[in-house]
Amino acid sequence: MKFAIVGTGGVGGYFGGKLAAAGYDVTFIARGAHLKAIQDKGLTVKSINGDFVVSPAKATDSISEVGVVDVVFVCLKAWQVAAVAAELKPLVGADTVVIPLQNGVMATDELRKALGTDHAVRGLCRIFSKKEDDGVINHFGIEPTIIFGEDSNLLTPRILKIKEALEKAGVKVIIPKDIEAEAWKKFLFICSSGLLAVMRSPYGVVREIPQTRQMLYDLFVEIYQVAIAKGVHLNPEIVDKTMAMVDTFDYNTTSSLTRDVMEGKPSEIDYQNGTVVRMGEMLGVAAPVNKFIYDCIIPMELKARGFIEVE
């Protein structure tokens, strides 16, 4: 099978690296100094499960030169997907499957607008990882897992074929009974990143202070209520289960959105807490904690994107 990894950061670099290390034909889409490092020295993956290097590694900054592949993993930031979706057409043949691994719940629909309804399936991943340096990916938490499936939740031949390839590469795969519910479970959790960014603190700090712990709990409740209003089938226990999961994290754990905001970079805030606020307004569900987080981060987001200047 041929794979294209669009976005070779913490997510794409790790999962694409595992596929390439297993002998699959993988092309990494990257840019700048990161691309050059991969081309010159290969892709280095540091992992709590064992380090490895993919060398040589196929990498380019030109999507059009890759050609048609069997599977495209879209591993860009959520806010980049809509802009790049149409550019993926040269990768997509009649049987190509496109799997987004973004945070949020909008990427699949954005891809379908550009590529048609037959190619993109719903997907998400679980991993704590980041680009540590040019050509270097660091996986530092959680068992890396890819979760994906058809809207129908049927085990179609294409889903099973991709599952087999990933498992042969040593990647844990879950094909859930309800992919939409799984996407919202991840979405519910990841929106906590905005609270960490506002507090400029890791999970350990936020969970141990009574006031911020309550805000975290209320944030989860709001997202659960929005999901239910939207018709997503979530178990009420998801809020308490998510809090319990947070309690297992290393004290200094953060997330990519948290780090982006704290480092003054553009973030996924519009696709996380911003999405909760907008959906809540449409569905008549109040989301005051999420709105507070979103409103607090917007000035920093506008500055990071160059829309405002602060001396």
Q: Which pLDDT tens digit goes with each residue over 114-137? A: 999 999 999 999 998 999 999 999
Q: Is the pLDDT of residue 187 over 90?
A: yes
Same-domain pairing of 171 and 242: no
Contacts of 203 (CB under 8 A, 6+ apart): 192, 196, 246, 249, 251, 253, 254
Q: Which domain holds residue 103?
A: 2-177
Q: Is the pLDDT of residue 307 over 90?
A: no
CB atoms within 10 A of CB 140: 15
Of 130, 151, 177, the domain-final residue: 177
Q: How many domains does the chain have?
A: 2
Same-domain pairing of 14 and 154: yes
Q: 259-291, pLDDT tens digit by residue?
A: 999 999 999 999 999 999 999 999 999 999 999
Same-domain pairing of 232 and 286: yes
Q: Is the pLDDT of residue 308 over 80?
A: no
Whether residue 278 lies inside any domain: the answer is yes
Same-domain pairing of 236 and 170: no
Whether residue 276 lies inside any domain: the answer is yes
20 vs 27: CA distance, rounded Å: 9
Q: What CATH number should be reported for the domain holding residue 16?
A: 3.40.50.720
Whether residue 46 lies inside any domain: the answer is yes
Q: 211-254, pLDDT tens digit by residue?
A: 999 999 999 999 999 999 999 999 999 999 999 999 999 999 99
For 44-58, what is the mean pLDDT? 97
**What's residue 301's pLDDT?**
95
CA distances from 132 to 9, 103, 137, 140, 196 (A): 9, 20, 5, 11, 21
The tokens describing 209, both together, are: 């202070």
Q: What CATH number should be reported for the domain holding residue 243?
A: 1.10.1040.10
**What's residue 310's pLDDT?**
56
87 vs 131: CA distance, rounded Å: 24
Same-domain pairing of 102 and 150: yes
- CB-CB contact of 149 with 34 (8 Å): no
* DSSP code of residue 83: H
Same-domain pairing of 166 and 190: no
Q: 41-50, pLDDT tens digit by residue?
A: 999 999 999 9
**What's residue 43's pLDDT?**
98
CB atoms within 10 A of CB 39: 18
Whether residue 238 lies inside any domain: the answer is yes
Q: What is the pTM of this model?
A: 0.88
Q: Which helix (H) or strand (E) holds 91?
A: none
Same-domain pairing of 13 and 126: yes
**What's residue 311's pLDDT?**
54
Of 124, 142, 177, the domain-final residue: 177
Please write down the HEC assignment for all residues of 53-77.
Answer: EECCCEEECCHHHCCCEEEEEECCC
Same-domain pairing of 154 and 291: no
Q: 20-41, pLDDT tens digit by residue?
A: 999 999 999 999 999 999 999 9
120 vs 158: CA distance, rounded Å: 12
- Examine residue 56 and say whether the peptide bond preceding it is cis (omega within 30 degrees of 0): yes
CB atoms within 10 A of CB 275: 22
**What's residue 70's pLDDT?**
98
Of 153, 177, 201, the domain-final residue: 177
CA distances from 220 to 236, 256, 264 (A): 11, 19, 26
